[in-house]
A and B are shown apart, each in its own frame.
Chain A
Amino acid sequence: MTRSGLLPRGLVALGAGAVLVAALSAHGAAGAGGDVASTAARFAGPRITGLRRLTEAQYRNTIADIFGPDIRVAGRFEPIVRPVHELIASGARDSSVSPSGLEQLDAIGRGVAAQVFDDKHRALFLPCQPHDEAAPDESCARAALLPLGRYLFRRPLTDAEGNGYVAMAGAAARTAHSFDKGLELGLAAMLESPQFLYIVETAQPDPQHPGVLVLDDYSRASRLSYTLWNTTPDAALLASAASGRLHDPAVLAATAAKMVKSPRFEDGIRAFFADMLLFERFDSLSKDPIIFPYFNSEVAAAMPEQMLRTITDHLLTRDGDYRQLFLTGHTFMTRALGGLYQVPVHKDKGWEPYQFAPGADRAGLLGQAGFLAIYSQTGRSSPTLRGRAIRELLLCQPVPNPPGNVNFTAVQDVKNRAMPTARVRLAAHMTDENCAGCHRLTDPLGLSLERFDGIGGWRTTENGAVIDPAGKLDKQDFSGAEGLGKLLAASPDASQCVASRALEYVRGQPSDDADAMVESLDSHFAASGYRIRALFLDAVTQPQVWEVKEPPLGAPTHLSLLER
């Protein structure tokens, strides 16, 4: 959307709500597109240069942070579509909201608003007493709504916005004969506003570099917060933005340094790796219970959590080398997972640390049931899916999609005693030259993980035949998950890949056009000993990260009710 300079379609739909798209231009009149220099020259104030839709997790975290964790967010969120070979963070820039998605968001927002002003919570958010509980009270409504609006929109409300929401609350209070109901509607309208549902990025000319646009302070605060903490900016960050200090590279660096040291950085790292490793696949993960009796709802829920605990424990708690993530034997177990892994678990509820024995071949992420399960089929493992995931997600080496007319008969015939193992079946499948090209990229990696079944359970035979865990990465032979982990840990592609993904995650756009930045990040990453805090700190403090290379959005096509 920002690349094309057009508004997302969903915003038109959002206009059906209380606040219309024109609110997006509240910081000033939007201009037409053009090259950066001419744009910068033409406009003196901040301009909208991008919209990034909140993910479900970001929405939930934001509500919890602003209103408290006991406010329930009940409803189904329309997912953000992942662009091919990109992060959801990039897809968020192009994500619209469908009419049914808007209905869901409307219901969710109204549900939140009703809780915020119910008897249990009202006193927390109402700094005044209305003159009449059954009638509008403009000043009290303003005192209640404007501070909330500042947190929800991640910037102070404009006068037009503030007046509009207060007027809306007053009209509703008059109709409902309830001051609180009026506030509810005003808050619900804010929660339905694109200013809340989208992280609105605005830019302004860089005084240090004439002709260049850079994100303004409030946009910097939002980007820092949603990148590093996966939630809305807190009061301190908004205060820094208000003071205009986030433009100062030293202040920005100090702020970011503090944020990556905070326990809340774990939320950011969880969100990043969930995005990088395609965790949305867990949402639709299903396995044949006859083939995989150890797979159940508890195991399905624990799989992604185990991976995230392993990642955050290694990278944050232990401040470990990213490359060792492919080799670490430290992980966490629940009773349900213990059955799948066939290891003892002491606690009858919750998680406990676990360390795999040397030689267990459960090396790092690649030996985790979650990784192995989501890159498998419903009823069998898949060396191809696993190999492709390793290429694409961990090495950033895209593999083409298979052609539409592939004959999978040999691969799917898993009970054929003449072709007892996946290695044999894939060898038969690869006699088709149309398929062989890609399979040569994926299968030699995935076959090394064949001692893990379709849910990551350990096995040594398939159909009575011993499984050969030999693998090949480019020209290097190896064996098993541990062998693969060692090669990935030593691969410069693996560290550069995560650096590239980190940059994409920060900017919300692929790093294809940022080779120099990626190389710089990777170089600094290596110098830090491949520490994830250093990588993200570096990524958010690179001056180019805050530059806007694209033309600002076009003129609004709808008027806001608030500005009538």
Chain B
Amino acid sequence: MIRPGRLGLGGVVIAGALALSGAGLLRGHAGASPARAQGLPPARLPAPPPSGVMGFVVENFVPTIVPGMDSCPHGTAPRLREEYLRTLTADEAARLRRKENEKELTNLWHAYAFGAGGTNICSQPDRFQHALFPPVESKFAYGLDLDGDASGGGGKDGCAHGKFVSPDGLSGIDNQEYRAMGCELELRGNDGSGGDSLTGMKQFHTSGEWTQVILLKNVHSLVKDDDVEVIYANTADRPEIDNKGNFLRGLSFTVADKGARHRNVLKGHIRDGVLTTDPADIRLAETWGQGGARDIRGNRTQYHYLKGRLRLAFEPDGSLRGLVGGYRPLFDVIVSTSLGGAGSALVAGIDCSAQLAGLRKYADGARDPRTGQCTAISSAMRIEAVPAFINDLPTSTETALK
């Protein structure tokens, strides 16, 4: 049934892309924060479109970091070679560091990546007991208050953990994934401005392999509205980009049930230009580049956010900026490097075993009542979405929330 506020078009609900884009094709970001602590003042908020339908294509979906090296006073997590050397006596480590012993050192630290029965630290990270990396030591992080427990006790089905404060002043932030992984070189980069994970995610996203779209229905006010339907989904349609890599606005995308795509139906609320959604399972397609089934880069996995939710602010230029957060199953966090197997360890020097151990230590969600251990970890990704026309095919509901 087509409710008031929807634009029914032959069984298809299509979102008016530019309904809010009073600034037309203008680009730009209102500050560095991925999510506003406060929404825009009502005077600066545009009126919602008469149809009540708004569409967006997600332009950026990247891990959040608070830039700088203050969070990681010990530097970034060591590469596997350095980790191995730390297991040795100082004299032996010094001997192996000498140039003439480089080959011997290489053989040894490569061997450190393997275990009995041909296992390796990335394909079977749970079979190894390597030292944890230093966590993020700052109290600042971006994210959402997922458990509503300001004490850090973890709520009824979580585990005790430290709370962060967001740089723009929101307290009670849960982002233990950031705590565990925030000093990884891939995330933080050499100078703290962000590593390959950030640029790589942008490239993956731009490739259109798993384009995300957001469709808002039943929007009557951007100041106060408690009954907004939010479709957060993947589409097989690729975005078009300009010569700077920005997504073009006002293109059409279709949410279909073809392939490993997902369509999450969420209940949203709007307060003063900020949209939040009630907790729900959110699943989104995740691929690692383009490739065949035998190629790691073609592997399809998924982002799975338990008790996931969105917090997105409406921007004056018509875009949405904010976060998706929730609890991720621990292994999901390192699935990419794990799929890389020994290559991740030997080529990139990543210690998946240490990563998994860190994730286990800081896990704060989905506590197993039997073991008392938490099996998921709080997480957040930064989202930036630009206006688009979204064709929401009803048949897609078959894939929703699977």
Q: Which A residues have a C-beta under 8 Å from some C-beta of B?
A: 289-290, 293-294, 296, 335-336, 338-339, 342-346, 348, 459-460
Contact A345 B243 (CB under 8 A): no
Contact A290 B254 (CB under 8 A): no
The distance from the CB of B349 to the nearest CB of chain A, in whole angstroms, is 39
The distance from the CB of B54 to the nearest CB of chain A, in whole angstroms, is 12
Chain B residues near A335: list those with CB within 8 A.
237, 251-252
B17 near A: Cβ within 8 Å?
yes
Contact A346 B243 (CB under 8 A): no
Interface segment out of the listed B8-16, B147-155, B172-180, B324-332: B8-16
Contact A346 B252 (CB under 8 A): yes
- With A344-B17, A344-B389, A346-B14 already in contact, the answer to whether A296 and B252 are too (CB < 8 A) is no
Q: What is the CA–CA distance of A453 and B236 in the complex, to the nearest angstrom?
A: 31
Contact B16 A348 (CB under 8 A): no
Which of A289, A342, A459 has a CB less than 8 Å from the CB of B17? A342
Chain A residues near B240: list those with CB within 8 A.
293-294, 296, 336, 339
Chain A residues near B252: list those with CB within 8 A.
335, 338-339, 344-346, 348
B24 near A: Cβ within 8 Å?
yes
B248 near A: Cβ within 8 Å?
yes
CB-CB nearest in chain B for A346: B391
CB-CB nearest in chain B for A296: B240
Chain A residues near B250: list those with CB within 8 A.
338-339, 342-343
Contact A459 B254 (CB under 8 A): no
Contact B389 A348 (CB under 8 A): no
Q: What is the CA–CA distance of A345 and B237 in the complex, to the nearest angstrom?
A: 12
- With A339-B240, A344-B14 already in contact, the answer to whether A294 and B254 are too (CB < 8 A) is no
Contact A339 B251 (CB under 8 A): yes
- With A339-B248, A346-B9, A346-B391 already in contact, the answer to whether A289 and B16 are too (CB < 8 A) is no
Chain A residues near B254: list those with CB within 8 A.
346, 348
Contact B248 A338 (CB under 8 A): no
Q: Which B residues have a C-beta under 8 Å from some C-beta of A?
A: 9-10, 12, 14-18, 24, 236-237, 240, 242-243, 248-252, 254, 389, 391
18 contacts between A and B (CB under 8 A): A293-B248, A294-B248, A335-B237, A335-B251, A338-B252, A339-B240, A342-B18, A342-B250, A344-B15, A344-B17, A344-B389, A344-B391, A346-B12, A346-B252, A348-B237, A348-B254, A459-B24, A460-B24
Contact B389 A338 (CB under 8 A): yes
Chain B residues near A344: list those with CB within 8 A.
14-17, 252, 389, 391
CB-CB nearest in chain A for B253: A348
Contact B389 A345 (CB under 8 A): yes
Contact B17 A293 (CB under 8 A): no
Chain A residues near B14: list those with CB within 8 A.
344, 346
Chain B residues near A338: list those with CB within 8 A.
250-252, 389
Chain B residues near A342: list those with CB within 8 A.
17-18, 249-250
- With A335-B252, A342-B17 already in contact, the answer to whether A293 and B24 are too (CB < 8 A) is no
Chain B residues near A346: list those with CB within 8 A.
9-10, 12, 14, 252, 254, 391
Q: What is the CA–CA distance of A343 and B242 in the complex, to the nearest angstrom?
A: 18
Given A294-B248, A344-B14, A346-B252, list of 8 further CB < 8 A pairs? A294-B240, A296-B240, A338-B250, A339-B250, A343-B389, A346-B9, A346-B254, A348-B236
Chain B residues near A459: list those with CB within 8 A.
24
Main secondary structure of the interface of B (DSSP, over half): loop
Which of B9, B15, B248 has most chain A Cβ within 10 Å? B248
Contact A289 B243 (CB under 8 A): yes
CB-CB nearest in chain B for A290: B243
Q: What is the CA–CA distance of A338 and B55 in the complex, to the nearest angstrom?
A: 15
CB-CB nearest in chain B for A288: B243
CB-CB nearest in chain B for A339: B251
The distance from the CB of B40 to the nearest CB of chain A, in whole angstroms, is 23
Q: What is the CA–CA distance of A507 and B107 in the complex, to the nearest angstrom?
A: 85
Which of A294, A338, A339 has most chain B Cβ within 10 Å? A339
Chain B residues near A294: list those with CB within 8 A.
240, 248
Chain A residues near B391: list those with CB within 8 A.
344, 346
Contact B243 A293 (CB under 8 A): yes
Q: What is the CA–CA distance of A290 and B254 in the complex, to the nearest angstrom?
A: 27
Those 7 A-B pairs whose CB atoms lie nearest each other, nearest first:
A293-B242, A344-B389, A342-B250, A345-B252, A339-B251, A344-B14, A338-B252
Q: What is the CA–CA distance of A460 and B23 in the complex, to the nearest angstrom?
A: 11
Chain A residues near B251: list those with CB within 8 A.
335, 338-339
Q: What is the CA–CA distance of A459 and B24 in the complex, to the nearest angstrom?
A: 8
CB-CB nearest in chain B for A460: B24
Q: What is the CA–CA distance of A349 and B236 in the complex, to the nearest angstrom?
A: 12
The distance from the CB of B209 to the nearest CB of chain A, in whole angstroms, is 16
Q: What is the CA–CA distance of A293 and B239 in the complex, to the nearest angstrom?
A: 13
Q: What is the CA–CA distance of A296 and B251 in the complex, to the nearest angstrom?
A: 14
CB-CB nearest in chain B for A299: B240
Q: What is the CA–CA distance of A459 and B23 in the complex, to the nearest angstrom?
A: 11
The distance from the CB of A248 to the nearest CB of chain B, in whole angstroms, is 51
Q: What is the CA–CA distance of A515 and B254 in the complex, to the nearest angstrom?
A: 55
Chain A residues near B12: list those with CB within 8 A.
346
Chain B residues near A296: list those with CB within 8 A.
240
Chain B residues near A336: list those with CB within 8 A.
240
The distance from the CB of B67 to the nearest CB of chain A, in whole angstroms, is 29
Q: What is the CA–CA distance of A345 and B390 in the complex, to the nearest angstrom?
A: 9
CB-CB nearest in chain A for B242: A293
Q: What is the CA–CA distance of A338 and B243 in the complex, to the nearest angstrom?
A: 19
Q: What is the CA–CA distance of A293 and B18 in the complex, to the nearest angstrom?
A: 17
Which of B15, B237, B249, B389 has most chain A Cβ within 10 Å? B389
The distance from the CB of B319 to the nearest CB of chain A, in whole angstroms, is 15
Chain B residues near A345: list those with CB within 8 A.
252, 389
The distance from the CB of B163 to the nearest CB of chain A, in whole angstroms, is 43
Q: What is the CA–CA distance of A25 and B236 in the complex, to the nearest angstrom?
A: 62
The distance from the CB of B251 to the nearest CB of chain A, in whole angstroms, is 4
CB-CB nearest in chain A for B240: A339
CB-CB nearest in chain B for A333: B252
The distance from the CB of A463 to the nearest CB of chain B, in whole angstroms, is 14
The distance from the CB of B206 to the nearest CB of chain A, in whole angstroms, is 14
Q: What is the CA–CA distance of A343 and B19 in the complex, to the nearest angstrom?
A: 11
Q: What is the CA–CA distance of A344 and B10 in the complex, to the nearest angstrom?
A: 14
Q: What is the CA–CA distance of A290 and B237 in the complex, to the nearest angstrom?
A: 23
